Amino acid sequence: MSFEHTHLLGIEPLAPHDITTILDLADQYADRGRSAAKYGTALAGLTQINMFFENSTRTQASFELAGKRLGADVMSMAMQASSINKGETLIDTAMTLNAMHPDLLVVRHPHSGAVDLLAQKVNCAVLNAGDGRHEHPTQALLDALTIRRAKGRLHRLNIAICGDIAHSRVARSNIILLGKMENRIRLIGPPTLMPAGIAEFGVEVYDDMKQGLEGVDVVMMLRLQRERMDGGFIPSEREYYHRYGLDAEKLAHAAPDAIVMHPGPMNRGVEIDGELADDLRRSVIQQQVEMGVAVRMAAMDLLARNLRKRAPMESVMA
C-alpha cells in the first residue's frame, strides 16, 4: 500500500492507485464500523482540528466521528464565534492554530483555493472538506466507495450527474475522480447551470433528463446551491422540479438496477422526489453517509502514517 501525499487537497493530484488505496482501506473501516470493534488506534496521540468556515452537518460530524473512532484528540472550532469576525485573516487564524501543533487540520471554506493556500502556511496534514466551488475530495471518495460497493466495480459505468453542476464542488471532484477511473460521465441540467467549457472534460452534456438518463447505472443528484448564485439561474422551483427533479418516471429511463445518490443536504420536491429518496431499493443516500465516516478514517489514517514517517514521535520523558 503506497500513498505518498502530505495533504488531501483535492482529487486532481491523486493517481488512480491512490484512489484505490484509500477506497480499499475505507472498505475495511466500513466493515469494521458495522461490528462491535469500531474503534482503532491509528490516530492515537494525534491532534485533529476541524475548522468549518461554512455550514456543514454531515461532513463535520463525519470527520469528527472518524477522528474519534481512530483515537485522535479532536477539536471542532466554532468558526462563527472565532476571531475571524474580529477582522483576523484566515492565514492569521491558521498560524495561531499551527502554533498549537495540530497533526491534522480539516478545513471547509467558502473560497476556492483557500484550503490550498492554508496548507502552504502550516506544517501539519491538511484535509480539504470543501472549498468554494473547487473541490470536495472526501465527498467524491465516499461516493466512489458507495458506487463500488453497490455495483461491484468502479470502472466502465455510465454515471449521470444532474442539476446545479456550475456551483458544485461535489460535481467537480466527482467528474475528476470518475474520469480517472475510466467511467462515462453525463452531465444533465439547464444550460444556465453548466460551467463554461465543460465539454472539454470529456463528458457528455444534456439538458433533457429523460435523454440523459437513458440506460445509466448511477444517478447522482445535486442541490441547487443558491448561496453561490448571484442571479436568477432558474425560472421557478416548481418548473425546475418538473424538468430536472428526479422522480420514478424519469428514473425509469435509467438501467433497471440504477442507484440514486445525493450528497445532501437534500431539497425534497426541488431536485428529488421525497419518496424516491427514501426508497431503499433504489436510493443509496444513507450508505453514502455511512461510507463518509469510513473514507475519512482511511484518509486521515494514510496521512498520519506519512506524518509519523517524516517525524517519528519522541517521548518528552526520555
Binding site for ligand NCD (CB under 6 A): 58-59, 130, 136, 139, 169-170, 223, 225, 263-264
Name 158's bridge partners: 184
To the nearest whole angstrom, how small is the minimum distance from the Cβ of residue 317 to ligand NCD? 42
Q: Which is nearer to ligand NCD, 45 or 274 (CB)?
A: 274
Query: What is the CA angle 253-151-218, rounded to 5?
Result: 35
Q: Residue 133 Cβ, how far from ligand NCD at the closest point, in Å?
A: 9
Nearer to ligand NCD, 46 or 293 (CB): 293
Q: Hey, which residues does 186 pair with through a beta bridge? A: 160, 204
Tell me the residue number closest to ligand NCD, measured at CB.
223
- Which C-beta is closer to ligand NCD: that of 102 or that of 132? 132
All three cell numbers of 171: 460535481
Closest to ligand NCD by CB, 47 or 139? 139
The string of DSSP letters for 195-216 reads PTTGGGGS-EEES-HHHHHTT-
DSSP 251-315: HTTS-TT-EEE--S---BTTTB-HHHHH-TTTB-HHHHHHHHHHHHHHHHHHHHHHHHHHSPPPP
Tell me the C-alpha distance between 73 and 311, whole Å: 18
| Min dist. Cβ of residue 174 to ligand NCD (A) | 11
Neighbouring CB atoms inside 10 A of 155's CB total: 12
Closest distance to ligand NCD from the beta carbon of 212 (Å):
20
Between CA 153 and CA 148 the distance in angstroms is 5
Considering the complex, state which of residue 25 and residue 272 has its C-beta at the smaller distance from ligand NCD: 272
Question: Which of 174, 239, 167, 251 shows the shortest CA–CA distance to 209?
Answer: 251
CA angle (289, 126, 145) in 5-degree steps: 30
Rounded distance, CA 191 to CA 262, Å? 21
Supply the minimum distance, in Å, between the C-beta of residue 262 and ligand NCD. 9
* Residue closer to ligand NCD, measured from CB, 272 or 307: 272
* Minimum separation from the CB atom of position 166 to ligand NCD (A): 13
Q: Which amino acid is at 123?
A: N
Grid cell of 94 as nine digits = 491558521
Q: Which is nearer to ligand NCD, 10 or 264 (CB)?
A: 264
Taking the complex as a whole, the smallest distance from the CB of residue 142 to ligand NCD amounts, in Å, to 9
Q: Which is nearer to ligand NCD, 48 or 59 (CB)?
A: 59
Least gap, CB of 303 to ligand NCD (angstroms):
19
